[in-house]
Amino acid sequence: MAHNLLKGKKGIIFGALDEKSIAWKTALKCHEEGAQLVLTNAPVALRMGEINKLAEACRNAPVIGADVTNMDDLKSLFEKSMEHFGGKIDFILHSIGMSLNVRKGKHYTEMNYEWNQKTLDISAMSLHKVLRTAWDMDALNEWGSVVALTYIAAQRVFPDYNEMADAKALLESVTRMFGYYYGEKKKVRVNTISQSPTRTTAGSGVKGFDGFINYAEAMSPLGNASAEDCANYCVTLFSDLTRYVTMQNLFHDGGFSFTGVTAGVIEKMENPNLKG
């Protein structure tokens, strides 16, 4: 059921690759809640053509290609978006992650540093680049809201998450730092949502993902949060109901982050042969 929470608001959604993407679900929810959207992804991702289906479902939202590490692409994206909206932007979803060392199967202790630079650029410093572009162009309205997606590996070790743990820690730091400056300058808020493991293209790329997702499910009193629920949470953060929430890392994980152990896991430890 829609509540018109984003009526009259204009937003840019980064990172909708296919139907499974968190950004895809978020775009649909934002549209349902009355927002006008621009969709963007890396030119190579747009070649898949999937995003056009999403654009159609979102009242023919324009699709504008931009490599999030390229400042010229970002400038042109913001120019075109403001032209399309006939004004400034109210919210941005940064739903982007990519690890070259994970993709190429390099162990954390044998990291290739050139690939690592690219990983940090795409997955973390890109948020700085997006915010900097908006800042330089004065592209965001007062009380605007920017949300980026992160994972609890920024705080705790999940070995196979590899260099993405460092990338997420940096992403969360950029959120706090830029959130401070943008808050002072224009009352723009910047937050990260730390989401449960979710079956998407990026998520499933992590080694041992099935173990990962099942473990999180067993360790969360509410169970893992779905991509749809994450989209709902994004909507609340883009809405005017959360205007004083900024510089936060907000766990959206069914309680996983604050659970030491669950009764189900204890039972399994006591009876290692137990199935299910």
The catalytic site residues sit at 151, 161
Q: Tokens 């699709």 map to which residue? A: 63
Torsion angles phi and psi, residue 123, rounded to 5: -90, -20
Least Cβ distance, residue 257 to ligand NAD (angstroms):
12
State which residue, 4 or 214, has the beta carbon closest to ligand NAD: 214
Least Cβ distance, residue 149 to ligand NAD (angstroms):
3
- CA–CA gap between residue 58 and residue 236 (Å, rounded): 19
Least Cβ distance, residue 54 to ligand NAD (angstroms):
11
* Position closest to ligand NAD via CB: 203
Least Cβ distance, residue 150 to ligand NAD (angstroms):
6
State which residue, 187 or 252, has the beta carbon closest to ligand NAD: 252
For the record, the structure tokens of 201 come out as: 């293209």
State which residue, 195 or 246, has the beta carbon closest to ligand NAD: 195
Directed axis angle between helix 164-186 and helix 126-137, to 10°? 20
**Residues contacting residue 151 through CB under 8 Å, at least 6 positions apart:** 158, 161, 164, 168, 194, 195, 197
Give me the residues that bind ligand NAD (CB under 6 A), please.
Answer: 15, 17, 21-23, 41-42, 45, 67-69, 95-98, 122, 149-151, 195, 197-198, 200-203
State which residue, 126 or 239, has the beta carbon closest to ligand NAD: 126
- CA–CA gap between residue 242 and residue 257 (Å, rounded): 22
SS3 category, 21 = coil
